Structure 1
């Protein structure tokens, strides 16, 4: 029973690591970066932003900013808001997407938001881990593997290794 719990814990850890390994860094605006009239580009259209991903805003440091606000301040381009949820000024800003829901950003330089330098995205959760498979029927103990499995850098490799380890542990 203890081996079964350890195996399930191992699989849960592997899925958590695999989720992190698949996180994306999105360069806002692609090659054009964060710029005037950004909202008119449709950059976020068709993209799926997930918890664990990051946004990288790149822009000339002395010309723009990135401010995260709520829906009302976003709609009004309220650059004087006291309700900033985040503010970045470096010209090479990384914003973690750490929870599901809508996120609203604009440039706080006067006139820039009104001129379309704004972005809204919808972040989706990573989803629940799949339910564990039912315990297999008792079988004759298998020989232990000749060498310990190694983990690769791909999500598929991690899942394959987790499956192999789980099968070996449950066989005992």
Structure 2
């Protein structure tokens, strides 16, 4: 199962699904998405679709013998195609990512999902997350979620102490100590 990742707080990120092959059986989507978390406003696209055309959207480009089904979490887990939320074919499909939550996509062609490849789970989080009344940066969230080892824990601890005290200079001091 694939889980999506974090963008920067100030800027949206433009993602190309798999960066080259698009929606196909040859792609390991779990590997591709492992270091990503999508925020509201990020762009996910497939080759051939311009970023301006799919802001706040998940876009899939695929060969005519594939399709894209948006499904429930239960159907995603079992690759069930009997009652999708929506079914799309034709080679290009876009989905708005305008709100937080998790969406599930599979290919409805027999064995394309069950072979372990053509399924994608996109979790979209808010642009700004708040802890103790303070905005939290994406690097902090990634560290808390255990998705990255950088920045060093000492820096994060110094930055959190500064947040709690209301002193942003503590993060700079923390960097200097590393």
Which bin holds the TM-score, normalised by the shorter protein?
0.5 to 0.7
Structure 2-normalised TM-score? 0.53
Indicate the residue corresponding to 1:33 in structure 2: 22
Whose helix proportion is higher, 1 or 2?
1
Higher strand fraction: Structure 1 or Structure 2? 2
Aligned residues: 109
Measured in 1, the distance between the counterparts of 2:85 and 2:11 equals 26
| Alignment TM-score, normalising by the size of structure 1 | 0.54
Could you say which residue in structure 2 is the equivalent of 1:127? 128
Structure 2 portions without partners, runs of 5+: 1-8, 43-56, 135-178
1:70 touches 1:104 (CA, 8 Å); kept in 2? yes
CA drift of 1:41 comes to 5.2
Specify which of 28, 31, 56 is matched with residue 59 of structure 2: 56
Aligned to 2:91: 91
Alignment of 1:1-172 (within 5 A): 22-39=11-28, 42-53=31-42, 54-60=57-63, 62-81=64-83, 84-115=84-115, 116-127=117-128
For 1:128 and 1:41, locate their aligned partners in 2 and report how far apart those are by CA, in whole Å. 25
Structure with greater Cα Rg: 1
Deviation at 1:49, TM superposition (A): 0.6
Q: Which has the higher contact order (CA 8 A, sep 6+)?
A: 1
Which residues of structure 1 form unaligned runs of 5+? 1-18, 132-172
Q: Tell me how large the CA RMSD over aligned residues is.
A: 2.6
Runs of 4+ more than 4 Å apart: 128-131
